[in-house]
Amino acid sequence: MKTIAEQCLTLLAGETDPTLIHGRGTTAACEQREELDFNKPIRPFMKCYSKNLGGSKKFVLLVAWLAKGVRPAWRDVLKKSG
């Protein structure tokens, strides 16, 4: 799930219209979109990675952050049942 979200956001980053980009600078940690840091708290995570995204793309980013712990939890369930 994390890999899929990162791939989607990487593809979406190339679709932004330069006329919609605000004149704000980004920090060095936010400039690279190859790897998302899901360990950040929700507000800094969204502020960092959603600067040039529209509403639906921001929602996808939020869902990706919320789902960050789904895969490890699912592995624990499979270990207990197996």
Q: Rounded to an integer, what distance in angstroms lies between the CA atom of residue 78 and that of residue 19?
A: 48
Task: Give the H or E element holding residue 76.
Answer: helix 70-81
- Between the alpha carbon of residue 32 and those of residues 15, 68, 69, the distances in Å are 16, 19, 22
Interatomic CA distance for residues 5 and 65, integer angstroms = 9
pTM of the model: 0.51
Q: Are 14 and 39 in contact (CB under 8 A)?
A: no
Which residue ranges make up each domain of the chain?
2-15+32-81
What is the pLDDT at residue 32? 52
Instruction: Read off the tokens for 28.
Output: 């060095």
pLDDT digit string, tens, across residues 32-81 = 555 788 889 999 999 998 988 999 999 989 988 888 867 777 778 788 87
> Residue 6: which pLDDT band, with cuts at 50, 70 and 90?
confident
